[in-house]
Amino acid sequence: MTGEIREIAPKILETIEKSNNILLHCHPGPDPDSIGSVLAITKFLMSKGKKATAIAGDSEYPRGLYSLPNRDLIKPLNYTQIDPGEFDLFIILDSSEPTQISRIGNVSFPKNMNTIVIDHHITNSKFGKINLVEPLYSSTCQIIYELFNLWGVKIDLDIALYLFIGIFGDTGGFKYQNTTPEVLKAAYELAKINPNYHKFIFEYENSMTPNEFEAMRLAFNSVETHLSDRIVFSTLSYDKIKKKRLNKSDAIEGMIADKLITVIGWDLAASLVELEPGIVRVSLRTRNQDKYDVSVIAKSIGKGGGGHKGASGTTIYAPLETAKKSLLKLISELYPDL
């Protein structure tokens, strides 16, 4: 546990104690860490008698996490569909920028609203009134686990499951470099509380629809290598998505990039999906995060970019071919050895 967590934890708890109507959100394309951290904090707040409103944000609740208990606590609303002035506290979880709260409209905070940012992304801009950002931690759920221990919170079956699945998701099933002994210890303690996590992990990892499989097939058919054949791109155009009658949510760019980076010799992978004409969502992965920090790439191009050294994303507002050329040029400038 870091000194910063010990120092800031009492301030966060004090702010929560003084607040009555509290907002939480999931970031666009929510993953297990986003969902798990929101559900864990929401249930904690409710146990303290606080009014807690959790919103799904820009995206639909992920199908692979449908079986989590109390998922209906997360309402199908985005930030533009609520009145922020009703809340005296906004706990912003697993989000490095305001664009991770919403990309639909401008995100601003009323003067009467306190904001607490709890996150582990190295690209976090610390935009809250209170910021707890721990880039060396595997996940936001791991940070929350330590906060709960400091606050003496009783971690019940549900909270243990939320935190475990968040840690599991952001460590890639405990295979990424961010899986430290402390991470394994936290997972062990949570698994002791709720040992029945297996079916939730299975459903999370095995919930692809036929449309998502078709989107992945189309993306794989577009694969091309660049420069020294150590960079690989896949592209999925809006025209192909429309022609196959797929939805934007079917174009799972993160999962595509995850598969590309499994190939030996492909040191850096990018999946580019044109969600709408002139709007390209990019997922970046690397096999060597110490040498090729993809969070730098994501932060340097497009809008709302950021993430982890080994896995990041951004949105480029340009036609697909222009976005691809711009991304390749940036990568060659940042990492000329490729």
Of residues 190, 213, 167, the one with CA closest to residue 33: 167
Q: pLDDT tens-digit profile of 105-144?
A: 889 999 999 999 999 998 899 999 999 999 999 999 999 9
Up-side HSE of residue 130: CA atoms within 13 Å toward CB? 22
| pLDDT > 90: percent of the chain | 82
Q: Residue 308: which of 298, 295, 299 has the closest Cα?
A: 295
- Mean pLDDT, rounded, for 259-288: 94
- CA-to-CA distance for 168 and 179, rounded, in angstroms? 9
Residue 173, classed as helix, strand or coil, is coil
Distance in angstroms (rounded) separating the CA atoms of residues 317 and 276: 10
Q: What is the pLDDT of residue 194?
A: 97
pLDDT number for residue 332: 93
Cα 174 to Cα 181: distance, rounded to the nearest angstrom: 10
Please tell me the number of Cα atoms within 13 Å of 266 on its side-chain side: 20
Average pLDDT taken over every residue of the chain: 94
Alpha helices in the chain (DSSP H): 3-18, 32-47, 140-151, 157-170, 181-193, 198-205, 210-221, 238-243, 253-260, 294-300, 320-334
Set out the domains of the chain in order of their start, with CATH numbers: 3-205 (3.90.1640.10), 210-334 (3.10.310.30)
pLDDT digit string, tens, across residues 32-59 = 999 999 999 999 999 999 999 999 999 9
The pLDDT, as a whole number, for residue 255 is 86
pTM assigned to the model: 0.88
Question: DSSP string spanning 199-268?
Answer: HHHHHHHS---HHHHHHHHHHHHT-EEETTTTEEEEEE-HHHHHHTT--GGG--HHHHHHHHTTSTT--E
pLDDT, tens digit, 9 for 90 and up, residues 185-229: 999 999 999 999 999 999 999 988 899 999 999 999 999 999 889
**pLDDT at residue 295 is higher than 80:** yes
Of 54, 57, 59, the C-alpha closest to 71 is 54
Structural tokens at position 168: 């599991």
Distances 301 to 11, 169, 247, 293 between C-alpha atoms, Å: 35, 26, 25, 14
Give the mean model confidence (pLDDT) for residues 290-301.
93
Phi-psi category of residue 49: left, alpha or beta, with phi > 0 → left and psi -120 to 50 → alpha:
left
Express each pLDDT in 146-185 by its tens digit. 999 999 999 999 999 999 999 999 999 998 888 999 999 9
pLDDT score of 14: 97
Cα dihedral 105, 109, 110, 116 in deg (nearest 10): 150
Q: Answer whether 237's CB lies under 8 Å from 324's CB.
A: no
